[in-house]
Amino acid sequence: MPLPNVTINIERNGLGGVALTVDGIMGICLTGVAVSGKLELNTAYPIYTLDEAVALGILKTGDNAAAYKQIQEFYNEAGSGRKLWIIVSPDTIIIDKKVDKSENVCPAKILAESAQGEIKVMGVTWKPAAGYTGTTLDGLDSKVYAAVLAADSLAKDFVAQIMPFSVLLEGVGFTGVGSNLRDLLGMTSERAGIVLAATEENGQGAVGMTLGRLARIPVQRKISRVKDGALPTLYGYLTDGDSIDTRLSDLDTMHDKGFIVLRKFPTRSGYYFNQDTTCAPVSNDLHTISHLRVIDKALVITYNTYVEEIDEEVKVNADGTLDAAMIAYLQAKIERAVGLNMVGEISAFEAYIDPKQNILSVPRLNVVLRITPVGYMSQIIVSLGFKNPALTA
């Protein structure tokens, strides 16, 4: 018999904690060349700082300068220490092939598989080879629109694997005329968007900076939120290499067609994004990156919550329906998980399980989950005028 004493066992599961999701991890497909002993093409690398990219041989000047600029602009906005998945491919892999899952080498697929669900938004950039002559279609290189369809298809494959992400494509080959652009809001590819924003006259799209903003804001927030401050750039361009400063009416056209561009406010210094729209109509609930990130986070939480219930033994009633206590447990379990993990990111969440389901006849349980998202004050209309108190008495 042991000596008389007090033994205290510390319990570890009383709070019923749920694993948090990591929302700010981005990925980007870049154009460049291999660096002997450092950087292999079509190979995924996770980095946390610009210095790590430099250590791989991605330098400010030389053949990897375009890749360097994207990574630099990501960390200028996101801040050092953010995890970023990168992959570098030769300029011979054109932008649509970078996201085409049917290709033998699909950099976007390699990147997504390597990250195993960590990437929430993937950027796809492409610097054409010197002398490249593409075909213009609806104001852009035709391969960009082909990439929209391929990127959407690829991303949806990964949604089915519970590794959801959306894709932002660089608007390569922009001719500079907004009216010539395709109306992205007439497409059905909600998992892909096009960035026409640029920070230099070279026309290189600011995909890295866009990902940087997404990396540092919560999932429900639009990249265009003014309170998050101006972007870290002194200049605002489009991917045709021209400044936005004298093209306000054209910017309205691009905005209305669903493209991501930079904008200015008359009383504020600096540049801001206009929106986070993807290539889908406004009637599609997932036509913005912010809504996609919210639904993707809820999807992962739901999977992680319910996967441990697979093939669990449950009590049933005489008619084969699920016991009321189990229904209440399953509803409360997901509501609690989402409630804990998405504070401030949604307005409300509810779960419903139809109690009439006979799971003895069909061993399948249907659960209906509904998210009430946050709203956005995108348009503020003010009536401003004078008042004469004597006339209103």
Ordered by start, the domain boundaries in the chain are 26-294, 313-385
CA 195/CA 122 separation, integer angstroms:
12
Ranges of the chain whose pLDDT falls below 50: 1, 7-15
Class of domain 26-294: alpha beta
Burial class (CB in 10 A: 0-12, 13-18, 19+), 268: exposed
> Can you say whether residue 320 is alpha, beta or left, with left for phi > 0 and alpha for psi between -120 and 50 degrees?
left
pLDDT of residue 342: 94
CA 120/CA 49 separation, integer angstroms:
18
Q: Confirm whether pTM is higher than 0.85.
A: yes
pLDDT of residue 5: 53
CA atoms within 13 A on the CB side of 14: 4
CA 382/CA 393 separation, integer angstroms:
24
pLDDT of residue 12: 46
CA dihedral over 345, 26, 172, 65, signed as positive or negative: positive
pLDDT of residue 128: 94
Among all chains, which residue has been given the structure tokens 């950087």? 39
CA atoms within 13 A on the CB side of 115: 32
